[in-house]
Structure 1
Amino acid sequence: MNYVIINGSPRRKNTWKMVEQAKKNLNGNFEEIHLMKEKIPFCNGCFKCILESEEKCPHYDKIKEILDKIKWADGIIISCPVYAMNVSALLKNFFDHTAYLYHRPEFFTKKALVIVSTAGAGQKDVAKYIDETLRHWGINRTYKITYACGGKDSIDSKNINEISQKFGGDVESGKLHNPKLGDIVFYNVWRTLAHSENSMEADKQYWIKTDLINNDFSPEIKLNPLKKLFSKAMFFILKRVMK
């Protein structure tokens, strides 16, 4: 198995200790990306990745290197400390550069492990935000490890071991899980917009090129009958609302 680690911490303290403990329970090859070293310029909000294509981003070369490693990986590990009750600026800046993936999800066969530490509070909210972002990318399933260390140089090895073992086992199984209902709703929002005359050209071309526009969900995922029916119903309703 191949794993890519995206480290959103500028340091290698408790959050990184958690990553190293999790790695002990995973079998495979690891590629580490430390966002501090990547020196990605701040997203300037030009909107070109959404309106024209991700290739028009002025920082595309930097972002493409990371996304190529995500495409290579079977499992993704994203680690981040809590800074001012949110993700670090390093990770937020990277996420800002991937905003187009909210419109054009593509990582439907990937699974992710989110690792968050804090000296005080906010770890669950930060992990939830990262999870939501990854689900908009299309990530099939996300596992979360959070830990409040209280300012001490310590980690909760037992919890890390239990969750990282589940994550690794799921990655190795190759099983693809049915999406949540909310993910199906968002999928059909963008699918419907790709059908409309008001669709942004980059979105329309992506949905047509991948043939997602003609599928109830990513074809790699076999929806159970109820979710397949739900997806068809959402598409029908959204087409009527958005026409």
Structure 2
Amino acid sequence: MKYVIINGSPRRKNTWKMVEYAKNNLKGDFEEIHLMKEKIPLCNGCYNCIVEGEDKCPHNDKIKPIIDKMKEADGIIIACPVYALNVTALLKNFFDHTAYLYHRPEFFTKKALVVVSTAGIGQKDVAKYIDETLRHWGVNKVYKITYAYGAKDLPDIKNIDEISKKFGKDVGSKKLHGPKLGDIVFFDVWKAMALSNNPIEADKEFWFKNDLVNKDFAPEVKLNIFKKLFSKVMFLILKRVIK
């Protein structure tokens, strides 16, 4: 198995210690991407990645290599401490550069592990935010490890072992999980927008090129009868709303 680790911390201290414990339970090769070293310029909100295509991002030379490594990996690990009750500026800036993935999700066959630490509070909310972002990218399953260090030196090793082992086993199984209903709704939203009278051209090209406009969800992910029906009905409703 091949794992890529995105380190959203400017340091390698508490959060990275948790990552190292998790790695002990994962078999495979690891590639580390430390966002502090990548020196990604701040997203300037130009919307180029959404409207014209991600290759038109002025910082595409920094972002594309990271995205490509994530696509090549079997498992993705996102590590981030809590800074002012949110993710670090490093990770938020990277996420801002991937806004196009909300419109054009590509990670339907990937699974991810989110590792968050804090000296105080906010770890669960930060992990939830990262989880939601990854799900909008299309990520099939997200596992979360959170821990409040406080005055303690060692993290909850038992919890790290348990969750990281489940993550590794799931990645190795190659099994894909059925999506949540909310994930299906967003899939249908973007599909309906691609078929609207005034679509974003980059979105339209993506959805037609990958034949997603004719699918109830990503073709690699199987839906049960209920979820198939739910997707069809939801799409018909959204198609009427988004014209």
Measure the CA separation in 2 of the matches of 1:239 and 1:103.
Answer: 16
1:223 alignment counterpart: 223
Measure the CA separation in 1 of the matches of 2:218 and 2:165.
Answer: 27
Q: What per-residue deviation string (whole Å, max 9, x for no partner) do you get for residues 7-31 of structure 1? A: 0000111100000000000000100
Q: What per-residue deviation string (whole Å, max 9, x for no partner) do you get for residues 66-110 of structure 1? A: 001001100000000000000000000000000000000010000
The TM-score with structure 1 as length reference comes to: 0.99
Q: What per-residue deviation string (whole Å, max 9, x for no partner) do you get for residues 168-212 of structure 1? A: 000000100000000000000000010011211010000001111
State the secondary structure of the residue aligned to 1:77.
Answer: strand
The TM-score with structure 2 as length reference comes to: 0.99
Note the residue ranges of structure 1 that are not aligned, 5 or more in a row: none
2:155 alignment counterpart: 155
Q: 1:7-18 residue pairs with structure 2 within 5 A?
A: 7-18=7-18
Q: 1:93-172 residue pairs with structure 2 within 5 A?
A: 93-172=93-172
Is the counterpart of residue 50 in structure 1 residue 37 in structure 2? no
2:241 alignment counterpart: 241
State the secondary structure of the residue aligned to 1:42.
Answer: coil
Query: Is contact 1:120–1:151 with CA below 8 Å preserved after alignment?
Result: no
Distance 1:65 1:133, change over 3 A: same
Note the residue ranges of structure 2 that are not aligned, 5 or more in a row: none
Query: Is contact 1:13–1:153 with CA below 8 Å preserved after alignment?
Result: no
State the secondary structure of the residue aligned to 1:179.
Answer: coil
CA deviation after TM superposition for structure 1 residue 242, in Å: 1.7
Measure the CA separation in 2 of the matches of 1:197 and 1:227.
Answer: 27
Measure the CA separation in 2 of the matches of 1:197 and 1:55.
Answer: 25
RMSD of the TM alignment (CA)? Answer: 0.6
Q: 1:21-40 residue pairs with structure 2 within 5 A?
A: 21-40=21-40
Aligned residues: 243
Measure the CA separation in 2 of the matches of 1:232 and 1:185.
Answer: 10
Measure the CA separation in 1 of the matches of 2:165 and 2:122.
Answer: 24
State the secondary structure of the residue aligned to 1:175.
Answer: coil
Measure the CA separation in 2 of the matches of 1:238 and 1:216.
Answer: 13
State the secondary structure of the residue aligned to 1:142.
Answer: strand
Measure the CA separation in 2 of the matches of 1:173 and 1:242.
Answer: 38
1:193 alignment counterpart: 193
* Percent of aligned pairs with the same amino acid: 77
Measure the CA separation in 1 of the matches of 2:215 and 2:93.
Answer: 32
CA deviation after TM superposition for structure 1 residue 151, in Å: 4.2
- AA aligned opposite 1:128: K
